[in-house]
């Protein structure tokens, strides 16, 4: 590998990782970059593996490639290869056959380590600080929370990475987002993400590599940082990243694919250098007073359409939206300007997805649900992000808390984060969801989705309408 042709000086964290993986530069922005890890799933994995086989190209290094069943796999208890998506079983069986034939590590439907790709990769220590990781999924940026350069790609790019261990990538611009201050009680990483997108627009980080910093980020645990980085794609960024620190090292130590013994000590010594240098220049910077933020929820059909949970649907002028998109969002969601969100009755509540399905998410939601019941007429579902999360939650009795409250307790998978597994909520049903997207029909044809933190989902399920979780916690 060659070094960067850029003049040496104070470098950002992104610069350091990029330059360490730079194979060659070409005129313009495009460069050839080495890829350390490739993760596939059953919705696109079979496509990439079959394409590679048809072209007669072997995988460059099978030890660096992983695959899981997560996107369309059924999440009901006692599941099998059958799915609720027409033709979904073929995705699963073909991915299994292709993965086994290729000799890559597969986390199959009933594997004890199966789960959502962006949950199990950190859990198992597959993603590591300073590494490059790609996956055919837009929320691969989640894994930047461990100090890695991780981003989503397409199936064709996956084929190239599998065959060569490299990718041709346009070097992104850099953006530093500093969250300073101490979070108020009830405010989470999800709320920080929604506040950022609502203030600066869904295209505010367009094409950037975002580094998240500031005292609020340093105070976060790793699972909160994963949530924060997860929604970098909702800001239209290429990726999000947090500089690794002692919390990162403590989280990774002893995990299955992390280095051990002397290799661990050498790795940590190297990882300690993965921070932006004093005086490093970013193309843009954004400062956010995290201490002044409140729990957030969306009112419309984009993560950008987010306001405090105690707020009301904004007027056109306050929304900052073009008239056409504003009117369309209101019509789809069945709302009027000035409607307090706390008055909106809900039909369903969903806790899950690569954004908020980790053990800490379930613990916080269960703390609010303990001793309470889901309101009559509300369907409530909880889907752990991995088999490991499910086992840990059950060992703590969290599953019993959810079930006693009236939640369905599921097997791990993407589930109703999006309408691809064949299961959905009903037309015009209003759902409070811990997922990352609230686009039209995202959770089912004509379903109306309000995205928020797991605490807000739990509180709303109990109240029967959108609710402020801080009232239950007080």
Q: Which pLDDT belongs to residue 343?
A: 86
Under 8 Å between Cβ of 219 and 228 = no
Name the H helices within 357-421: 359-369, 387-395, 398-405
**Residues present in the chain in total:** 474
For residue 11, being part of any structural domain is answered with no
2-41 pLDDT, tens digit per residue, is 344 445 799 999 999 999 999 999 777 789 999 999 999 9
Q: Which pLDDT belongs to residue 28?
A: 75
Q: Which pLDDT belongs to residue 8?
A: 73
Q: Which pLDDT belongs to residue 1?
A: 37
Q: Are residues 108 and 56 in the same domain?
A: yes
Predicted TM-score (pTM) of this structure = 0.96
Helix, strand, or coil (residue 300): coil
Q: Which pLDDT belongs to residue 5?
A: 41
Sheet holding 105-107: strands in order across?
A: 105-107, 65-68, 37-41, 132-135, 149-152
Beta bridge partners, 285, equal 176
Is residue 474's pLDDT more than 80?
A: no
> How large is the angle between the packed helices 88-102 and 45-54, nearest 10 degrees?
50
Q: Which pLDDT belongs to residue 46?
A: 85
Is residue 297's pLDDT more than 50?
A: yes
Please state the rounded mean pLDDT for residues 87-94.
94
| Residue-number span of the structural domain to which 431 is assigned | 296-473
Residues in Cβ contact with 397 at an 8 Å cutoff, skipping those fewer than 6 apart: none
Least confident residue range of 14-28, 214-228, 374-388, 396-410: 14-28
For residue 235, being part of any structural domain is answered with no
For residue 137, being part of any structural domain is answered with yes
Residues in Cβ contact with 346 at an 8 Å cutoff, skipping those fewer than 6 apart: 378, 430, 431, 432, 450, 460, 461, 464, 465, 466
Q: Are residues 37 and 102 in the same domain?
A: yes
Please state the rounded mean pLDDT for residues 184-191.
97
Question: For the chain, first and last CA: distance in Å?
Answer: 56
Please state the rounded mean pLDDT for residues 166-184.
97
Please state the rounded mean pLDDT for residues 87-109.
96
Under 8 Å between Cβ of 237 and 209 = yes
Please state the rounded mean pLDDT for residues 135-142.
97
CATH code for position 79? 3.30.499.10
Task: For 174-319, list the strands marked E by DSSP.
Answer: 174-180, 209-213, 239-241, 284-289, 296-298, 306-308
Q: Are residues 253 and 365 in the same domain?
A: no
Q: Are residues 369 and 262 in the same domain?
A: no
Q: How far apart are alpha carbons 117 and 258 in whole angstroms? A: 17
Nearest to 353 by CA among 177, 190, 472, 200: 190
Q: Are residues 263 and 406 in the same domain?
A: no
Nearest to 454 by CA among 411, 398, 387: 398
Q: Are residues 262 and 389 in the same domain?
A: no
Name the H helices within 8-127: 13-20, 45-54, 88-102, 117-124
Q: How far apart are alpha carbons 127 and 143 in whole angstroms? A: 7
Q: Are residues 302 and 441 in the same domain?
A: yes
DSSP code for 312: B
Nearest to 145 by CA among 230, 36, 21: 230
- Percentage with pLDDT > 90 across the chain: 93
Name the H helices within 283-406: 316-319, 323-333, 359-369, 387-395, 398-405
411-449 pLDDT, tens digit per residue, is 999 999 988 767 899 999 999 999 999 999 999 999 999
Nearest to 118 by CA among 217, 48, 37, 209: 37
235-261 pLDDT, tens digit per residue, is 999 999 999 999 999 999 999 999 999
Is residue 177's pLDDT more than 90?
A: yes
Q: Which pLDDT belongs to residue 7?
A: 52
Q: Which pLDDT belongs to residue 423?
A: 87
Q: Are residues 414 and 459 in the same domain?
A: yes
Please state the rounded mean pLDDT for residues 370-387.
98
For residue 135, being part of any structural domain is answered with yes
Q: Which pLDDT belongs to residue 85?
A: 87
- Number of continuous H segments (helices) and E segments (strands) in the chain: 17, 19
Please state the rounded mean pLDDT for residues 138-143.
98
Q: How far apart are alpha carbons 192 and 296 in whole angstroms? A: 8
Nearest to 144 by CA among 115, 181, 172: 172
For residue 217, being part of any structural domain is answered with no
Q: Are residues 253 and 327 in the same domain?
A: no
For residue 234, being part of any structural domain is answered with no
Q: Are residues 414 and 361 in the same domain?
A: yes
Structural domains counted in the chain: 2
Q: Are residues 341 and 251 in the same domain?
A: no
For residue 147, being part of any structural domain is answered with yes
Q: Which two tokens stand for residue 346?
A: 């809900």
For residue 238, being part of any structural domain is answered with no
Q: Are residues 369 and 440 in the same domain?
A: yes
Please state the rounded mean pLDDT for residues 51-74.
96
Is residue 209's pLDDT more than 90?
A: yes
């Amino acid at each position: 590998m060659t070094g960067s042709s850029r003049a040496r000086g104070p470098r950002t964290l992104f610069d350091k990782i990029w330059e360490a993986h730079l194979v060659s530069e070409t005129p313009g922005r495009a460069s050839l970059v080495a890829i350390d890890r490739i993760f596939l799933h059953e919705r696109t994995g079979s496509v990439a593996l079959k394409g590679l086989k048809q072209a007669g190209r072997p995988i460059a290094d099978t030890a660096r490639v992983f695959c899981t069943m997560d996107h369309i796999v059924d999440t009901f208890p006692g599941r099998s290869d059958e799915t609720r998506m027409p033709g979904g079983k073929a995705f699963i069986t073909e991915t299994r056959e292709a993965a086994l034939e290729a000799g890559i590590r597969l986390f199959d439907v009933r594997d004890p380590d199966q789960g959502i790709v962006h949950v199990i990769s950190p859990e198992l220590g597959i993603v590591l600080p300073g590494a490059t990781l790609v996956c055919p999924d837009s929320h691969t940026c989640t894994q930047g929370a461990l100090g890695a350069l991780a981003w989503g790609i397409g199936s064709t790019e996956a084929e190239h990475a599998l065959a060569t261990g490299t990718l041709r990538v346009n070097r992104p611009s850099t953006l530093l987002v500093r969250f300073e201050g101490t979070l108020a009680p009830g405010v989470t990483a999800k709320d920080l993400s929604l506040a950022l997108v609502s203030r600066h627009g869904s295209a505010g980080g367009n094409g950037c590599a975002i580094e998240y910093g500031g005292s609020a980020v340093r105070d976060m645990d790793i699972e909160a940082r994963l949530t924060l980085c997860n929604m970098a794609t909702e800001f239209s960024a290429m990726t999000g990243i947090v500089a690794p620190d002692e919390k990162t090292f403590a989280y990774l130590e002893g995990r299955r694919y992390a280095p051990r013994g002397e290799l661990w000590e050498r790795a940590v010594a190297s990882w300690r250098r993965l921070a932006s240098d004093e005086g490093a220049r970013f193309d843009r910077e954004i400062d956010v007073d995290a201490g002044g933020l409140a729990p957030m929820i969306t009112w419309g059909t984009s993560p950008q359409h987010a306001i405090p949970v105690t707020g009301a649907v904004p007027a056109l002028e306050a929304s900052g939206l073009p008239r056409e998109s504003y009117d369309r969002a209101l019509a789809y969601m069945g709302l009027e300007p000035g409607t307090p969100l706390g008055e909106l009755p809900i039909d369903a509540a969903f806790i899950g997805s690569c954004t908020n399905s980790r053990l800490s998410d379930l613990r916080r939601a269960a703390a609010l649900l303990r001793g309470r019941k889901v309101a009559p007429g509300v369907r409530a579902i909880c889907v752990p992000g991995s088999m490991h999360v499910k086992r840990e939650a059950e060992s703590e009795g969290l599953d019993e808390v959810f079930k006693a409250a009236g939640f369905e307790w599921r097997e791990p998978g993407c589930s109703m984060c999006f309408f691809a597994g064949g299961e959905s909520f009903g037309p015009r049903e209003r759902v409070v969801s811990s997922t990352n997207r609230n686009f039209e029909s995202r959770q089912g044809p004509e379903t109306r989705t309000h995205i928020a933190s797991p605490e807000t989902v739990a509180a709303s399920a109990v109240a029967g309408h959108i609710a402020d979780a801080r009232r239950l916690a007080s």
